[in-house]
Amino acid sequence: MVGAHPGTVVVSARDEVLARLRAARDAGGATAPEVPREYRRSGTAPPGSAEVVDRLVETLTDYKATVHRVADEDDVSATIADILENAGVTTFVAPPGLPARWLGEVTARVRPDEPPLSVAKLDAVDAVVTGAAVAIADTGTFVLDALAPDQGRRAITLVPDHHVCVVRAADVVSSVPEGIARLDPTHPLTFVSGPSATSDIELDRVEGVHGPRRLDVVLVAPRA
């Protein structure tokens, strides 16, 4: 149809949408206001402090994660071994860079995700064990970075029905802004706050839909 009518031009959707938006923006006002940022951008207590760690235990527990507190990283492997055994886990997946010392006493069979397991294989394992990039005490959240060697690609923490996540006190911050500041936005990230849940039935929260239905957090934090 190009050239069908004299005086017409061919315009891509991109150019047209941008032209419309420019015209509309100019008509409605193009002055960018100063954004008031008077909210708290740092936490009430320093990262890793006893106060922050205690709050994380509260908020995680409130949203139905089970928290296991250990004083020393040497105790992690015994705790994971207990968790897996009590849950009847026989096989679990681990990201390629999971610290070997976390699994020293574990008797369940580990399937390293290297080379990457198929979705069917992930569906056949009972659990997954990972680390975390950061945890946010105010909201009971930990964040998984798919490019961190001890966290692994997103599918491994999604398909298995039971997730065991190790969080170190040094990675626990108080507030959302502190958490965001520690993350790399170009990596695939998953913010996890409790096991999978829904509010879709009468707007009340019930746990257990498509993501892992069981969530254990091993928190490595020396008692103050």
* Residues 173-212 interacting with another protein (rule: CB under 8 A): 176-177, 179-181, 183, 185-212
Report the nearest approach of another protein to the CB of residue 147 (Å): 7
Q: Give the length of the chain.
A: 224
Taking the complex as a whole, how short is the minimal distance between the CB of residue 152 and another protein, in angstroms?
A: 9
Minimum gap (Å) between residue 101 Cβ and another protein: 25
Which run of H or of E encompasses 129? strand 127-130
Mapped to the 3 state alphabet, what secondary structure does 67-127 carry? EEEECCHHHHHHHHHHHHHHCCCCEEEECCCCCHHHHCCCCCEEEECCCCCCHHHHHHCCE
CA distance 74 to 148: 21
Choose the binding region for another protein from 9-17, 45-53, 97-105, 165-173 (rule: CB under 8 A): 9-17
Q: Which is nearer to another protein, 65 or 106 (CB)?
A: 65
| Among residues 49, 59, 79, 130, the one that binds another protein under rule CB under 8 A | 59
* Pick from 171, 115, 117, 125: nearest CA to 144: 171
Three state DSSP letters for 149-181: CCCCCHHHHCCCCEEEEEEEHHHEECCHHHHHH
Q: How far is the CB of 84 from another protein (least distance, A)?
A: 21
Q: Please pick, from the candidates 49, 79, 130, 141, the single residue that binds another protein as defined by CB under 8 A.
A: 141
Stretch that binds another protein, among 21-29, 80-88, 101-109, 165-173 (CB under 8 A): 21-29
Residue 38 contacts another protein per CB under 8 A: yes
- Three-state DSSP at 53 gives helix
C-alpha 101/C-alpha 81 separation (Å) is 12
| CA distance linking residue 43 with residue 136, whole number of Å | 10
Q: What are the angstrom distances between the C-alpha of 2 and each of 91, 175, 221?
A: 63, 57, 69
- Considering only residues 69 to 128 of the shown chain, the ones binding another protein according to CB under 8 A are 116, 119-120, 123
Report the residue from 30, 61, 104, 131 that binds another protein according to the rule CB under 8 A: 30
Candidates 126, 138, 150, 216; binder of another protein (CB under 8 A) is: 138
Q: In angstroms, what is the minimal distance from the CB of 14 to another protein?
A: 4
Which contiguous run of DSSP H or E holds residue 27? helix 13-28
Residue 8 touching another protein (CB under 8 A): yes
Pick the piece of the chain touching another protein (CB under 8 A) from 31-39, 79-87, 97-105, 164-172. Answer: 31-39
